[in-house]
Chains A and B, each alone.
Chain A
């Protein structure tokens, strides 16, 4: 599969017109078959998305009612809602992002403005990339070890910490990417005016990269809003109303997980309602993020 393949795949002209015609037909046919297969693959991919969305819409709207937003979770058969998981998810995703974002932005800034090409910078970039794709369940186990065990129990703070760790690499990646796109002439112009480097970064580089950084933050929120595995071992879930961050805290994904796996019809219906909510939220955040980025381009 090197350059010689080009010669192998496209034979030179033949003397015999019959053979040449047949060869041409065969090549065209191969091309058409591959084209059809590729369109088919794309349609299959789109069909999966459509199936997921249609199932969610159908089963979710069936179970959706005002009660979902006004009542807390309740035992099966007793008219419960999803108020505490919704609020719990909002609190944890918001605080997790609020903690993870500044750290991620500083790391991204370090990589783009201070450590381009340096060994230490490469190490940080590598580690951040590993964290970006590392199994999130392991982050849950880690936070369980350092925040749940020593502090005597599951807590909202532990969940927030786990989500913050997931937010960091997402923000690092987009911040660095966006800062790298800024032309150096802009930096030189600012420095040439006598500004210190930190002012150049904060007031010029960050400002010009703002739409990209916001995209990264929105994507990070979308990512953590749907995370289940890291919350299983950290904020655990709570069937009563609680906004106390030192106590176990409910969240939508974990509630969906336990309700969907239960044998009770009304719980499963609530799980579908929750699934619809979370998917709508996550997908609209994603689309919003793309629009923010495109608006600038």
Chain B
């Protein structure tokens, strides 16, 4: 049969025409040359350049964002030098600005939210890939993914009107009474139970990034070749042992990539954090104390800044710093997830 099909191949001119084009579709080969090029018409040229031009546009867009933020923030970098990054002053009256507090708040809330979200996300991913009955997988998976679709402002309102009061009256007094007295870690949980603050912000962030991390973990867990898992099961391993001994070692790098993706999201989250973090420009030792993040500071103070003022430049400089932070995290995440992207 196969030989017969081979014999009925089209005559050579057509073959010549097909090969370069199919290469163009599958491999890195540039525009088809020779015969194919001659038979191509104006439409091909226009269409290809429209596609290529859009690609260049996206590239330039990111470049423009970086350059624009840097140039606009330049007056602040000039006025305060490197101290801008470390200084904890933010005094609009005396025109002294420093990014220290908001950088601290950004990193602490993001890292704390990762600590809270990763175990939950792992549990969800494990449940969805190994434990859930088949009929339940899709609805539960969709519901978790819908958590990612809820707009950030809704998390902010929910956090402010539901979570913060609940924390202030129930969770935080209990933690302050029971954990606040402990040596070494107690100081993290002292102070008044405001409800809002760094901890609440991290809590809301954790819920927001949970679906991103869980979805990545689920996708990479599903890519483990069944043969590996089956051989472990065949040796008598329990589900958890298969997870720990086969699935996690196999997907470790991608799992870290998924966590970094969540971290990148958490760094730049604005509206939800603005609602619940308490917005105070100080570093408090307690996690229940108020603080701010780069994004919340920019969102709050931007409206009160005059065009061309040093304050506006400082806010844009903060934006530049945030961009650099998230760029590093997101680029790392993408690097770690590259095998998955290729697959």
Contacts and interface: CB of A to CB of B under 8 A. Distances in A.
B298 A145 contact: no
A135 B322 contact: yes
A39 interface: yes
Contacts of B142: 287, 290
A240 interface: no
Interface string B136-160: 0000101111110111111111101
Contacts of A121: 55
A275 B124 contact: no
B261 interface: yes
Contacts of B12: none
Contacts of B245: 5-6, 8-10
| Interface residue range, chain A | 35 or more
A52 B158 contact: yes
Contacts of B68: 142, 145-146
Given A56-B154, A260-B156, A142 B235 contact: no
Contact of B124 (A6, A38, A134, A197): A38
Contact of B326 (A111, A113, A135, A278): A135
Contact of A133 (B41, B58, B261, B316): B261
B192 interface: no
A30 interface: yes
Contact of B295 (A9, A45, A137): A137
A31 B240 contact: yes
B319 A133 contact: no
A106 interface: yes
A142 B65 contact: yes
A294 B318 CA distance: 43
B24 A172 contact: no
A134 B325 CA distance: 10
Interface string B1-43: 0000000001000100110011011111010100000011101
A40 B124 CA distance: 9
B331 interface: yes
A286 interface: yes
Given A48-B207, A278-B154, A114 B240 contact: no
Contacts of A10: 232, 235-237, 241, 245
Contacts of A243: none
Interface stretch (A72-80, A207-215, A221-229): A221-229
Given A42-B124, A124-B59, A145-B72, A116 B28 contact: yes
Contacts of B140: 42, 46
Given A45-B210, A110-B54, A226-B153, A135 B267 contact: yes
B268 A135 contact: yes
Given A31-B241, A198-B43, A110 B151 contact: no
A157 interface: no
A149 B154 CA distance: 30
Nearest to A230: B270
A227 to B, nearest CB: 7
Contacts of A35: 131, 239-240
Given A38-B124, A116-B25, A187-B25, A232 B269 contact: no
Interface residues of B, number: 112
A181 interface: no
Given A45-B120, A145-B316, A127 B323 contact: no
Contacts of A111: 55
Nearest to B25: A187
Contacts of B151: 225-228, 253, 278-279, 282
A187 B22 contact: yes
A136 B32 CA distance: 39
B283 interface: no
B128 interface: yes
Contacts of A51: 158, 162
Nearest to A115: B55
Contacts of A201: 47
A19 interface: no
Interface string B233-250: 001111111011110110
Interface in B139-196: 140, 142-147, 149-158, 160-162
Contact of B330 (A45, A110, A130, A271): A130
26 contacts: A6-B245, A34-B126, A45-B214, A51-B158, A103-B54, A107-B51, A111-B55, A114-B52, A116-B26, A124-B58, A133-B264, A134-B327, A135-B295, A136-B270, A137-B295, A138-B65, A138-B69, A141-B298, A168-B58, A184-B22, A187-B21, A187-B22, A223-B149, A253-B153, A278-B151, A282-B150
Given A253-B153, A278-B154, 6 more contacts: A42-B123, A45-B120, A111-B55, A137-B298, A146-B64, A187-B25
Interface of A: 1-3, 5-6, 8-10, 27-28, 30-31, 34-35, 37-42, 44-46, 48-49, 51-52, 55-56, 59, 103, 106-107, 109-111, 113-118, 120-121, 123-124, 126-131, 133-139, 141-142, 145-146, 149, 165, 168-169, 172, 184, 187-188, 191-192, 194, 196-199, 201-202, 222-223, 225-229, 232-233, 253, 256-257, 260-261, 271-272, 275, 278-279, 282-283, 286-287, 290
Interface of B: 10, 14, 17-18, 21-22, 24-28, 30, 32, 39-41, 43-44, 46-48, 50-55, 57-59, 61-62, 64-65, 68-69, 72, 119-124, 126-128, 131-132, 140, 142-147, 149-158, 160-162, 207, 210-211, 214, 232, 235-241, 243-246, 248-249, 252, 261, 264-265, 267-271, 275, 295, 298-299, 302-303, 307, 315-316, 319, 322-323, 326-327, 330-331, 334
